[in-house]
Amino acid sequence: MSGVVNSVQAKAQEVAKEDYDRAKALVNDAAKSGSYLYPIKGIFYFLSHRGLWKPLLKKLAPFVTLSVGVVTGMFFFTYVPQLALMTFVNGPLAVFTTAVLVLNESSAVISFLSRNFVMQDALLDTFDGTLISRDATNLVSEGRELKSGRDPIQRLGKILKNPFQRFSPKALIRYVMYLPLNFIPVVGTVAFIILQGRSRGSTVHDRYFQLKRWSASQKAQWLSEHVGPYSAFGILATLLEMVPVASVFFSFTNAVGAALWAADIENKETEMTDGTAPGLREAAKKAE
């Protein structure tokens, strides 16, 4: 019996060590890449380049209208049923915890609807406009017509390639499923942010990969080689977009940050390009 116990303990220690080493490698990759800084860089770059404000300002009114409608509807239809369930878990505090839960659920619904029907084109314009402001005109011209001029947003013409992949219902369902984790103090909230951040990070460069004309296998290879950096970006972006009221602002600054990151990758100005992207490898071979 003791031999079985010792065997199980040894196996558990082995698995724990493997997971620790894997997590340590991901953290090291993220730290070297500096990807976690780009959501912050996006904020400052957005604030200092007024020309990039136009897509956001154009969509503020419809976004506010959508938000008010969703929050009102969610409280009217879902607050009481969820309060009845939460009372068994939180007792008297259920009145407040249920309100927080409904607000988080409303945020998920608003994000789903706004990204698909309200802000998708505006976020696309912000991403492309940022690339133009970073002199990545040739890259952007692969996905849309460009006009002459100095203002990066005014230069954006007809879209030649479909914009960002639409927000999937599966992602919305996953978000709502993970929301209850927030009611587990500290650990639950951290787990929620990590799970959402990792998923979010894998999509932030969909437009960049599209402009690069990468195949599905090239994208998968690049993302698998840089799980740490993309998870780090996604986690910080998720944190910012969880800030009440300011979430729409951070959605745009995160798009700017993702574009700045893409421009640096394109210019080989990040640690990630030491490994070289699939498209960059091919370019290097042709240059030789």
Q: Of all helices (H) and strands (E), which one includes residue 144?
A: strand 144-146
> Which residues in the chain belong to E strands, given as ranges?
144-146, 156-159
Select the more confidently predicted residue: 112 or 65: 65
Q: What is the distance in angstroms between the CA of the first residue and the CA of the last residue of the chain?
A: 64
Question: Whole-model pTM?
Answer: 0.79
Length of the chain: 288
Q: How far is CA 159 from the centre of its chain?
A: 22
What's at 270, amino acid-wise? T
Q: Which helix (H) or strand (E) holds 149?
A: none
CB 78 within 8 A of CB 71: no
Q: Is the pLDDT score of 285 beyond 50?
A: no
User: Which residues lie closer than 8 Å to 178 by C-beta, 6 or more apart?
Assistant: 191, 192, 195, 196
| Mean pLDDT, the chain, whole residue set | 81
pLDDT at 288: 38
Give the pLDDT score at 223.
Answer: 92
Whether residue 12 is predicted with pLDDT greater than 60 in this model: the reply is: no
* Tokens encoding 242: 């969880």
Q: What pLDDT is stored for residue 161 in this prediction?
A: 74
Is residue 13 predicted with pLDDT exceeding 70? Answer: no
Q: Can you tell me the distance from the alpha carbon of 274 to that of 272, in angstroms, rounded to the nearest whole number? A: 5
CA-CA distance, 104 to 181, in Å (whole number)? 12
pLDDT, residue 166, reads 57
CB 100 within 8 A of CB 86: no
Which pLDDT tens digit goes with each residue over 167-195?
Answer: 566 666 776 777 667 666 567 778 878 88
Percent of the chain's residues with pLDDT above 90: 37
- Give 18's contacts (C-beta < 8 A, 6+ positions apart): none
